[in-house]
Structure 1
């Protein structure tokens, strides 16, 4: 599990294994990350990527392959070495394995990560994060959560989210109601999607809401494309497979202007996330080590937390080779400080030459200074009447100068490379070339990239079956719960019916008793009145008699 870097200087015309410069898996360097910089035609693919793809046969490999050359020259070789060969083709989605990012949304917090990567549009990490941007991210996060809990597993795709938006308009209709609001309000108050929606998009009104919708629609424009919808409709392999069995993934990127950087950056973000989670489940170590060879790395798009990944990946058995044409590419994609942090997390820098002035200056500073010895001499003569003499003096001085200056780096011989390793002296080494190392091998096993046929593997079939089973169990549980609620409701109604006659009978008795008491009271009252009248007349008679 070594990485080929180059060859020591020798007079031999053929490559000698003893002269190979390699990085071992158990290197004493802080990490196994390698930063490769070289301009066009500097043998980045021919001298570094292809030789390493061929010789690495004890670990999984993820290699970016802008032109598809690496796949065509090595994929059949890797099949013979026992690798599961996979292609993710952002140039031609019809000749690509599919990847649905929903298959890797394991936690609610994953939705916000996916939402931000998608809304970043072209993957520019320096995008202006204004209020519309943040609100658009919040809206997509709510929709992803809704799909996670309310869509059937097979329907959890970005395409179906777009359909959901089309069927439930987010703006007011003529009557002043909002269909999207209604759908979220149907959810329970503690539902993650409703909570996200109510504390975000739901509070917007009028022009603010219209601006959010415009931003949201613009950022999802790529996903309306039928090929992209097809690519994101399913997953043909599980990203975790890379850490479980020998697998090689060829990631083909557009050479000019990657307009789907949100997809490619999302792919790598979820790849690292899944490998780290797999490692954490396995004692912070992957069952199968993984090497990333990221040619034309800036064209992937900004990968979240890339510098942190570089700093922590070794313990999981991951190594990363970051390949660029110039240092300024890294600065443009991120910023100067972050670019320096990224480069600093590579224990090895390999400069393949043909670089611009900024890169040459950076390499010069990394090389540092050397002490140079200067010797100066002077002669003098003197003469007298009878004699003549001569004298000479030698002076030795020391001065510091750059080990190599910008011109020497820029104009380095075509077959030479500069190797800078932390805590070791730098070296000038010879570049490798796959056609010298393996004459005729790659041409014998050519595999045309556009003839690749996707095939869903068993691990992803099993995963989708598990998701369906979980969904069916959840639906059955909800059905039983609703049935129990219905039964309880009916039981309460029956009890009310049973209690009603008893209550009416009791009320009737109470009424009868009350009526009886009232009648007796009336009789008593009447008797009192009669007695009072009788007494009055008796007194009146007695008075008249007198």
Structure 2
């Protein structure tokens, strides 16, 4: 396929040549200090022009506000994933949804890949021990949720399961394993992989368990935020589709959040899945892969080092994943990715855009990068003698930088230099979107206030900001996640309970209070497991015996397995009964609360 057959990236404007457009599969690197026009001169022009899929890191959401509606109206499926949105206006992405679309024998590997992103294996030996065990617990809990009907498989729910639900984590997990080995239950036994993974955690000494659990919980604490949990509870888009259909995903994370390690981890998980799911097939192997996907990373180092980009930048292009990376300086990349990692990342961008530098060090590096040429120096000489005078002229070649560091700094804020393989450097102008009719006309298609200025009118900067940043005329409508659900009742965000669903006695040990909407069904199940349940409830709620049992042992412990055999006349100590019921059913107190609220405790 010729280079021109691939979508083009607008890199500059040339007074004689027009827009300079870079076709092909190679990436583009833009290095420029803050407030030098990177967004208006590179990011927005490409969002208004690039025809295939894009995933855009959009720290301030300005790119979304200017371009999302235009892209949607021109055939793109457009999404904004803003997991920290304080208003809850965001689309959702659940990392596990892509896993379950894979063949079953590949799902374990995918889960382990997620676990490796959370608990890396490449750490110092002591930390590696705890990370290895944390990954086992992660695998076990993920499989447990997957193999339990009605349970949501989300990172937030995995964190909740590790809390022990009011018990020690060890006791809680042992209870799960015991309940799923019973033969008198409709629930299928847990898979041996799930059981093995949980047992690897449970078999650790008590002192080790605490350290492993702390390691396990640390990267997941972000999911205690109800907005984050809501934004990761389901998927409105599939990252594996970016090469199958035209779609645009804006990744919106506020600058303040990007400084937090937990937010950086979440961004890493997102990009890890984006790249990994699209490195499984090359376009030549699957005719459904018709489109290129441009990863436009504005302020690329803001979320810290994105591991998958550091590892895969050398071969992503062959899978039609193309990079457009915007940074403030080469030194900034080196600080984030290390000297060698930065060199590799920068080298694997085929075209570089150099804006006028502010720092002398950057100016020196750019001057060295542009190279040298031989300047012809002419000199004249005059010889005077007693009888005659003579003049001469000579030429000599002198080495000179193509552009001196000072010349680069004085270049002008609307200028840039384009460097690419097998081509001499090109001095051109930034492609400011507000200076070119082609972009303004596209914005007029979606903005009533800009269109009202007239076909020939060019809006001012203030008019554009009012229309797009203040009024939101260029933004798509966004859904609002129900984060209140996760704030008030975390597990209520799972499947809506079926009020009329019968509840079998063997389900009682697995129930949670938030899973139950019909108290009568609980009551029937309790009566089946314990024939004298009504008398028991009368004893508990009236706090007085209804029978004469003077010879009974008030202090005798009652095991859960005795409940089905008890008679009301055998028991006078309600505390022992309650303890036995709690042993049978971890959420006994919550269920009693449901029964009391519904009035179902009345016989």
The verdict on a shared fold, with TM-score over 0.5 as the criterion, is: yes
Asked if 1:430 corresponds to 2:429, the answer is: yes
Q: Which residue of 1 aligns with 2:409?
A: 410
3-state SS of 2:302 partner: helix
CA distance in 2, matches of 1:235, 1:217: 23
Distance 1:375 1:247, change over 3 A: same
CA distance in 1, matches of 2:173, 2:135: 13
CA distance in 1, matches of 2:342, 2:167: 40
3-state SS of 1:288 partner: coil
Q: How many residue pairs end up in the alignment?
A: 430
Correspondence list, 1:332-351, <5 A: 332-351=335-354
Alpha-carbon shift at residue 221 of structure 1 (Å): 1.9
Distance 1:166 1:244, change over 3 A: same
Alpha-carbon shift at residue 414 of structure 1 (Å): 0.6
3-state SS of 1:147 partner: helix
Correspondence list, 1:179-258, <5 A: 179-180=172-173, 183=176, 191-197=192-198, 201-202=201-202, 204-258=204-258
CA distance in 1, matches of 2:279, 2:15: 40
Q: Quick check: 2:78–2:248 contact (8 Å CA) kept in 1?
A: yes
Distance 1:195 1:75, change over 3 A: same
Q: Which residue of 2 aligns with 1:293?
A: 296
Correspondence list, 1:70-81, <5 A: 70-81=63-74
Aligned partner (choices 468, 473, 479) of residue 454 of structure 1: 479
Q: Which runs of 5+ in 2 are unaligned?
A: 1-6, 182-188, 448-467, 482-494, 496-603
Q: Which residue of 1 aligns with 2:109?
A: 109
Alpha-carbon shift at residue 180 of structure 1 (Å): 3.4
Alpha-carbon shift at residue 157 of structure 1 (Å): 0.8
Asked if 1:86 corresponds to 2:79, the answer is: yes
Q: Which residue of 2 aligns with 1:442?
A: 443
Distance 1:152 1:36, change over 3 A: farther
Correspondence list, 1:138-537, <5 A: 138-148=133-143, 149-152=146-149, 155-167=152-164, 178-180=171-173, 183=176, 191-197=192-198, 201-202=201-202, 204-258=204-258, 259=260, 260-277=263-280, 279=282, 282-283=285-286, 286-383=289-386, 387=387, 389-437=388-436, 438-439=439-440, 441-442=442-443, 445=447, 446=468, 447=472, 452-454=477-479
Alpha-carbon shift at residue 363 of structure 1 (Å): 2.5
Correspondence list, 1:17-36, <5 A: 18-25=17-24, 31-36=25-30
Distance 1:116 1:405, change over 3 A: farther
Q: Quick check: 2:33–2:357 contact (8 Å CA) kept in 1?
A: yes
Higher relative CO (Cα under 8 Å, sequence separation at least 6) belongs to 1
3-state SS of 1:223 partner: helix
Query: Considering only CA atoms, is the larger Rg found in Structure 1 or Structure 2?
Result: 1
Asked if 1:65 corresponds to 2:58, the answer is: yes
Asked if 1:6 corresponds to 2:12, the answer is: yes
Correspondence list, 1:29-44, <5 A: 31-44=25-38
Q: Which residue of 2 aligns with 1:534?
A: none
Q: Which runs of 5+ in 1 are unaligned?
A: 11-17, 26-30, 457-467, 469-546
Distance 1:395 1:418, change over 3 A: same
Q: Quick check: 2:31–2:355 contact (8 Å CA) kept in 1?
A: yes
Q: Quick check: 1:264–1:301 contact (8 Å CA) kept in 2?
A: no
> Aligned-pair RMSD on alpha carbons?
3.2
CA distance in 1, matches of 2:475, 2:288: 36
CA distance in 1, matches of 2:82, 2:283: 29
Which shifted more, 313-322 or 136-145?
136-145
Alpha-carbon shift at residue 281 of structure 1 (Å): 9.2
CA distance in 2, matches of 1:329, 1:104: 33
CA distance in 1, matches of 2:324, 2:136: 32
Alpha-carbon shift at residue 97 of structure 1 (Å): 0.5
Q: Which residue of 2 aligns with 1:494?
A: none
Q: Quick check: 2:283–2:290 contact (8 Å CA) kept in 1?
A: no
Q: Quick check: 1:84–1:246 contact (8 Å CA) kept in 2?
A: yes
Q: Quick check: 1:264–1:300 contact (8 Å CA) kept in 2?
A: yes
Q: Which residue of 1 aligns with 2:118?
A: 118
Alpha-carbon shift at residue 228 of structure 1 (Å): 1.0
CA distance in 1, matches of 2:43, 2:158: 39
3-state SS of 1:212 partner: helix
Q: Quick check: 1:279–1:285 contact (8 Å CA) kept in 2?
A: no
CA distance in 2, matches of 1:178, 1:365: 65
Q: Quick check: 2:134–2:215 contact (8 Å CA) kept in 1?
A: no
Distance 1:403 1:137, change over 3 A: farther
User: Structure 1 or 2: larger helix share?
Assistant: 1
Deviations 1:250-281, CA, capped at 9 Å, x for gaps: 11122245121111121111111222235479
Q: When the two structures are superposed, what TM-score results if normalisation uses the length of structure 1?
A: 0.71
Q: Quick check: 1:139–1:197 contact (8 Å CA) kept in 2?
A: no
Which shifted more, 103-112 or 228-237?
103-112
Q: Quick check: 1:114–1:266 contact (8 Å CA) kept in 2?
A: yes
CA distance in 1, matches of 2:423, 2:433: 27
Q: Quick check: 1:37–1:352 contact (8 Å CA) kept in 2?
A: yes
Alpha-carbon shift at residue 325 of structure 1 (Å): 0.8
Deviations 1:29-79, CA, capped at 9 Å, x for gaps: xx421111111122111011111111122x111112211111111112112
CA distance in 2, matches of 1:324, 1:152: 46
Q: Quick check: 2:141–2:161 contact (8 Å CA) kept in 1?
A: no
Distance 1:111 1:405, change over 3 A: farther
